[in-house]
Chain A
Amino acid sequence: MLKKFVSSICILCLLCACSGGTSGKEASSGTDVKSAAQSLVKDLNLTDTTAEVEDRVVQGLFFFEDGVVTASDVYLANDKSADIVGVFKTTNIESCENSIKTYLSTTKQQMQSYFPEEVFKVDNALVQDNGSDTVILIICKDMETAKTKAEAILKG
């Protein structure tokens, strides 16, 4: 009886571990956006001037509609610039990009008041997607490199 009970518990534990795999998938998708964002930050020489922000900060800045962004990694400037690198996994590219456009519009207005020299960079922000589930946002000085690197990531 006891053996049966113990083996049932073991089976339950194994099942739980398997279902953990689903959230692991999410985590792995999160890891994808993470490594993509990290490599962009490195390639664009933004390591010292940007910092990775928490998921709740991302939502507080972009106001994505519920369920639209399933994983993201965003680096924001720690100085007075508008620099940003964001990689977003999305279920709805149009909605995701609309939220990003709203962010850009707000950022532009903000920069016009405080740091007008940044407005040009915001105007030339890169918002690019792979046509299915990933959107990349970049504001930085070196937009040529940004475009090349983003395309490479989106082509996968």
Chain B
Amino acid sequence: MKKTVLILLCACLLCGCGGGSSTAKTEKQITRACLAIDSYDYKEPVPVSAAIGEDYYATAMFAGDSRMGCLSLYGNHPDAEVGYVTSLNLLMIDIMKADERDDGKTLMDLLNETDRQNIYLMFGINEIRNLSFDAFAEKYQEILTTLRNNNPSVNVYIILAYHPKEISGLNADQLNTQLNALNTQLVQLAVDNYTYYLRPDDAITDENGIVRESYVFDGLHMNPTGTKAMEDFYATHVVRSEDYVKEVCE
């Protein structure tokens, strides 16, 4: 017995020595260290960029509530993947079936399955009457974590809520307060997750900051003209990592 233990001990020591030589080898191979420095300011909305080409849409998925449905109904880019749920409460994203599908898949199923590199998310308008956005933000965080776990290099664009003409049950002041609270949470999620966020207001709202009447058919959902305006906005607000990430080598 003692002999066996002794032999095992020797074997372990020998292995340990072998491991040492391999470590030494690795150290020798490293001749310089490089560091990727990301200068993108995640606290700011995505700035205007050069317009993307049509091939970009084959890499993009647009997911959201009924506001995102306009891309499916009136969109001009057939290669874009669009998933949406009318009347979606984000807490139910893995329960409610996605619109315009017969397979019973939820939007979370679609987000889990997609291999698209650029994912656009538009959630929150159905929670706008909420007393707090904490549970909403927690669920949103869970989705962002899932997307990043599924694809560590995925680019996620969080789309802030634009100001609709009205929301039943809320007066103008209440709507402003709720929109500010929602968008503050969305920006915080973007900052916390080093994720991009889009503020579409300049592209689609009037001088009062409310969505242009000619862009919507019910004060909230985009008509074909509004859809085109949103598409143009997406096309000219893309982050190209090469513009921001620089590799510095010693």
Given contacts A56-B138, A106-B129, A106-B169, contact A61 B91 (CB under 8 A): yes
* Dominant secondary structure of chain A at its interface with chain B: helix
Q: How far does the Cβ of A35 sit from chain B's closest Cβ, in whole Å?
A: 21
1/0 per residue B99-140: CB within 8 Å of A? 000000010000000000000000000100111101110110
Residue of A nearest to B136 (CB): A60
Interface size on B, residues (CB 8 A): 24
Given contacts A56-B138, A60-B135, A63-B132, contact A114 B169 (CB under 8 A): no
* Distance of A63 Cα from B136 Cα, bound (Å): 12
The verdict on B95 contacting chain A, using a C-beta distance below 8 Å, is yes
The verdict on B92 contacting chain A, using a C-beta distance below 8 Å, is yes
* Distance of A16 Cα from B169 Cα, bound (Å): 51
List B contacts of A53 (CB < 8 A). Answer: 91-92, 95
List A contacts of B139 (CB < 8 A). Answer: 60
* Dominant secondary structure of chain B at its interface with chain A: loop
1/0 per residue A104-132: CB within 8 Å of B? 01100111111100000000000000000
List B contacts of A78 (CB < 8 A). Answer: 95-97, 106
* Distance of A74 Cα from B66 Cα, bound (Å): 25
List A contacts of B87 (CB < 8 A). Answer: 80, 110-111, 113-115
The verdict on A51 contacting chain B, using a C-beta distance below 8 Å, is yes
* Distance of A76 Cα from B91 Cα, bound (Å): 11
List A contacts of B131 (CB < 8 A). Answer: 63, 102
The verdict on A79 contacting chain B, using a C-beta distance below 8 Å, is yes
List B contacts of A111 (CB < 8 A). Answer: 87
The verdict on B183 contacting chain A, using a C-beta distance below 8 Å, is no
The verdict on A59 contacting chain B, using a C-beta distance below 8 Å, is yes
The verdict on A14 contacting chain B, using a C-beta distance below 8 Å, is no
The verdict on A18 contacting chain B, using a C-beta distance below 8 Å, is no
Our pick among B89, B135, B168 for the contact of A56 (Cβ within 8 Å) is B135
* Distance of A77 Cα from B88 Cα, bound (Å): 11
Residue of A nearest to B170 (CB): A109
* Distance of A109 Cα from B91 Cα, bound (Å): 18
Our pick among B95, B130, B168 for the contact of A51 (Cβ within 8 Å) is B95
Residue of B nearest to A50 (CB): B95
Residue of B nearest to A82 (CB): B87
The verdict on B141 contacting chain A, using a C-beta distance below 8 Å, is no
Does B135 contact A57, Cβ atoms closer than 8 Å? yes
Given contacts A59-B135, A63-B131, A80-B87, contact A110 B96 (CB under 8 A): no
Q: Give 9 nearest A-B pairs by CB, closest first.
A: A60-B135, A109-B169, A114-B87, A57-B91, A63-B131, A109-B168, A51-B95, A60-B91, A106-B129
